[in-house]
């Protein structure tokens, strides 16, 4: 009995001391609890999650992929459709460019990156129901920027080959949104034009900042689910580059296309709802191109929804052509949407020598066809290759132009647009005849 009483006294004494200690150090204890909670949340976000916990958006596109396989739609020419873009097709931008460069062909690592991006997607709200989204006024897509020299975004804005400083606006009041958001550039007569598009931007901000130090005009394609897009877009325009929206679309591979991707399993109304949500992600882009999309760009019904919306808002489309069976260009033509198609992928393999060889291929295509569109990604090897290659274009008799210049050339020659000043700006300098 006496020993029990002594035990209770010792227990009471211990709890009393703990209570006194917590009262005296309550602020330090609170900070510790908050810090531990923040650490736990951070580890949870960064730790790759098992596939079974990923979320409805991932389940939807996997079911859609299974349906495509069942009907035989998943078969395609992997040598021609850009599926060799190992890192570009998986969780692109979720790690640094250097991290992607090292061990990027390791399949387990790619799967971890894809699951990590899927977990980030689970923390984002889904794009809401149709009735919550009103039609987008075209003015919401316009970019309003101060002069580059006064914007504060860059200290010493670069110039184009023609000596122009960006941003500049195409101010014809009758021009569609894509022309008014375009970066005008002189295309000297007799010179083949090359547009260099850099995809998957927005998540890897160091890569985006490095692009802003390269010679303009490049064309920067931003993912709609990246953060601080308005600020990143403004910096890109201030550096003289043109902007595009890089919309995630369903692939035939098992790579995760990203949050709120356009999927073949969605109804046309759901497709339109998601697409309109992407169009709201930032302002100032001249065109839209597809992120992945080797399955969706073969789906005529869904691409018709996309093209009808682009036509309504006066935007252009660039087919990244991740599959040889893409019908995106056909649907763009059918809906009267100005468009262009990718010619060369720069970094299917991540190595400086490979990217430089691909750039030489771009030169050959441009000389053969009069123009070429190259698509790359913000990898270290790609950035270094561009840093070396861009200053050589003038002496090679080639012109670096924004992708809108190639779109306008095609649109003017086909009679799709009849704005004389636009056609004169982009076409007359390069060709003897101009459709006006």
pLDDT in tens, the chain (436 residues): 555 555 555 556 777 777 777 677 666 767 777 877 777 766 666 555 444 444 454 555 556 556 655 655 444 333 333 322 322 333 333 323 323 323 334 555 555 555 555 544 444 445 444 334 445 555 567 654 434 333 444 333 333 323 333 334 455 666 789 988 999 877 888 899 999 999 999 998 999 999 999 999 999 999 999 999 999 999 999 999 999 999 999 999 988 899 999 999 999 999 999 999 999 999 999 999 999 999 999 999 999 999 999 999 999 999 999 999 999 999 999 999 999 999 999 999 989 999 999 999 999 999 999 999 999 999 999 999 999 999 999 999 999 999 999 998 888 776 665 444 456 554 433 333 232 2
Tokens describing residue 23: 């009262």
Note the residue count of the chain. Answer: 436
Name 89's Cβ contacts closer than 8 Å, sequence gap at least 6: 83, 251, 253, 255, 292
CATH architecture, range 130-428: Alpha-Beta Barrel (3.20)
CA distance 292 to 321: 9
CA distance 417 to 336: 9
Residue-wise pLDDT tens digits, 189-223 = 889 999 999 999 999 899 999 999 999 999 999 99
Burial of 374 (0-12, 13-18, 19+ CB in 10 A): buried
Torsion angle defined by CA atoms of residues 257, 261, 265 and 266, in that order, rounded to the nearest 10 degrees: 180
Residue with tokens 């736990």, as numbered in its chain: 40
The b-or-e profile of 79-100 (16+ CB within 10 A means b, else e) is eebbbebbbbbbbbbbbebeeb
Q: Which helix (H) or strand (E) holds 339?
A: strand 339-341
Name 250's Cβ contacts closer than 8 Å, sequence gap at least 6: 61, 64, 65, 257, 261, 262, 263, 264, 292, 293, 295, 296
Query: What pTM was estimated for this model as a whole?
Result: 0.68
Residue-wise pLDDT tens digits, 336-372 = 999 999 999 999 998 999 999 999 999 999 999 999 9
Smallest CA-to-CA distance from 324 within 342, 300, 304 is with 342
Q: Which helix (H) or strand (E) holds 390?
A: none
CA distance 25 to 20: 9
For residue 165, the cross-strand partners are 159
CA distances to 22, 145, 237, 400 from 162, rounded to whole Å, are 70, 21, 17, 9
């Amino acid at each position: 009995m006496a020993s029990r009483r002594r035990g209770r006294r010792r227990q009471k004494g211990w709890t009393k001391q703990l209570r006194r200690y917590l009262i005296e150090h309550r602020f330090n204890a609170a900070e510790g609890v908050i810090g531990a909670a923040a650490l736990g949340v951070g580890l949870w976000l960064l730790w790759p999650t098992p596939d079974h916990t990923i979320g409805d958006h991932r389940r939807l596109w996997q079911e859609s992929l299974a349906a495509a396989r069942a009907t035989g739609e998943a078969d395609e020419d992997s040598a021609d459709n850009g599926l060799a873009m190992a890192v570009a097709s998986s969780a692109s931008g979720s790690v640094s460019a250097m991290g992607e460069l090292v061990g990027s062909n390791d399949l387990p690592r790619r799967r971890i990156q894809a699951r990590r991006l899927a977990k980030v997607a689970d923390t984002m709200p889904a794009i809401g129901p149709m009735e919550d989204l009103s039609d987008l006024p075209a003015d919401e897509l316009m970019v309003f920027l101060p002069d580059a020299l006064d914007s504060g975004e860059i200290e010493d804005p670069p110039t184009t080959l023609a000596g122009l400083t960006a941003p500049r606006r195409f101010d014809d009041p009758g021009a569609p949104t894509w022309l008014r958001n375009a970066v005008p550039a002189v295309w000297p007569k007799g010179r083949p034009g090359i547009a260099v598009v850099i995809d998957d931007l927005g998540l890897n901000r160091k890569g985006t900042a490095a692009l802003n130090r390269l010679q303009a005009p490049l064309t920067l394609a931003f993912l709609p689910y990246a953060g601080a897009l308005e600020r990143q877009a403004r910096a890109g325009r201030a550096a003289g580059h043109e902007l595009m929206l890089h919309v995630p679309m369903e692939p035939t591979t098992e790579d995760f296309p990203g949050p709120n991707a356009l999927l073949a399993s969605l109804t046309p109304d759901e497709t339109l709802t998601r697409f309109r949500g992407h169009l709201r992600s930032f302002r100032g882009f001249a065109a839209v191109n597809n992120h992945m999309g080797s399955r969706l760009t073969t789906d005529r019904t869904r691409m018709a929804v996309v093209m009808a919306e682009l036509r309504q808002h006066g935007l252009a489309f660039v087919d990244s052509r991740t599959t040889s069976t893409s019908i995106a260009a056909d649907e763009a033509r059918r809906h009267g949407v100005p468009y262009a198609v990718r010619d060369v992928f720069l970094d299917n393999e991540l190595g400086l020598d490979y990217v430089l060889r691909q750039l030489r291929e771009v030169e050959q295509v441009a000389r053969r066809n009069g123009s070429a569109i190259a698509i790359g990604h913000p990898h270290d090897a790609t950035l270094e290759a561009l840093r070396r290659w861009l200053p050589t274009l003038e002496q090679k008799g080639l012109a670096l132009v924004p992708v809108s210049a190639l779109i306008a050339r095609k649109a003017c020659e086909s009679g799709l647009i009849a704005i004389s000043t636009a056609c004169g700006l982009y076409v007359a300098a390069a060709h003897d005849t101009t459709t006006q």
